[in-house]
Amino acid sequence: MLESYLQEQRRKEEILLMTHIVLGYPSFEDSFRIVAEMVEAGVDMMELQIPFSEPIADGPVILKANQCSLSAGSTVEKCIAFAERAARTFNIPFLFMSYYNILFKYGVRQFAKVMAETGIQGAIVPDLPPEEGAEYIKAMTDHHLSPIFIFAPTTSRDRMKKIADHAKGFIYCVARRGVTGSDTEFSLEFQKYLERCRSATDLPLALGFGVKEKADVDFLRGKVDIVVVGTQTIRIVEKEGIKAVKGFIRGLRPNQSPLLRNPF
């Protein structure tokens, strides 16, 4: 189970690292190379985003990646095949991230069944609140998968507790209002928000939206269990190429610095 894995990893490391890629961007083969670089760099877990035409929680960088992937012919079936290949090749948990319309059109129960057969450990569906997700929650539970739900700075403590009652694996804490990719101010108010998250659940906490550098990871150590890096990796790939990913990811770790890059 995902939660047991996270607990075991936390005994080894102060803070865990989850990365995020958009499947099929820049291509499916490039996506696989990016996954390989990330795994070699030591990530603990990874989100595989199934592209969607209207990714409402995502900022311009990930939105563009979604659009490019779809334009190049990405399909749900291709994403599932990719996920199965990744899960069989690499010894870390993989999650799907996408929007509810993908699951609805595929068939929620069938989607959960295929996830389990593929080796995916859970899913993040940001536009599906738990009170509207009874079929999804049951299908995930039936197949021993983790439905990951979301806390936001605007979520009350009572609401957090209700959300946590339906969650498994971990809680994804959104660092701020808005979409992915923008700057996040790690302020005193933000710290109080994380304290509210911690008081609402015993599940591990993951923090995403705005984590870009080692200083962010250092600040979050002791406050959350997992940091999530997505948009910044895409920027690195676009500016410096896939081979730069490993050094970037290693540079986020405690007491590690980026690999020296070949100046030639």
pLDDT value, residue 67: 96
Residues 189/71, Cβ–Cβ less than 8 Å: no
CA distance 68 to 24: 8
**Counted domains in the chain:** 1
Q: Does 264 fall in a domain?
A: no
Whether the Cβ atoms of residue 221 and residue 227 lie closer than 8 Å to each other: no
CATH code at position 183: 3.20.20.70
- The verdict on residue 255 lying in a domain is no
Does a structural domain hold residue 262? no
Q: Which of 3, 8, 40, 58 is catalytic?
A: 58
- Residue-range definition of the domain harbouring residue 190: 2-250
Full pLDDT tens readout for the chain, 264 residues: 899 999 999 999 999 999 999 999 999 999 999 999 999 999 999 999 999 998 887 889 999 999 999 999 999 999 999 999 999 999 999 999 999 999 999 999 999 999 999 999 999 999 999 999 999 999 999 999 999 999 999 999 999 999 999 999 999 999 854 444 344 455 678 888 999 999 999 999 999 888 889 999 998 999 999 999 989 999 999 999 999 999 999 999 765 433 333 332
Q: Per the structure block, which two tokens stand in for 63?
A: 């939105």
DSSP state, 174?
E
8 Å CB contact between 102 and 83? no
Quote the tokens at residue 214: 């080692």
Q: Is 47 annotated as catalytic?
A: yes
In a domain, 203, yes or no: yes
Domain membership of residue 119 (yes or no) is yes
Residues 215, 117: Cα–Cα separation, whole Å:
39
Residues 8, 14, 37, 47: which is the catalytic one? 47
Burial level of 41, CB count in 10 A (0-12/13-18/19+)?
buried
Let me know if residue 256 belongs to a domain: no
Whether residue 257 is contained in a domain is answered as no
Q: Is residue 151 part of a domain?
A: yes
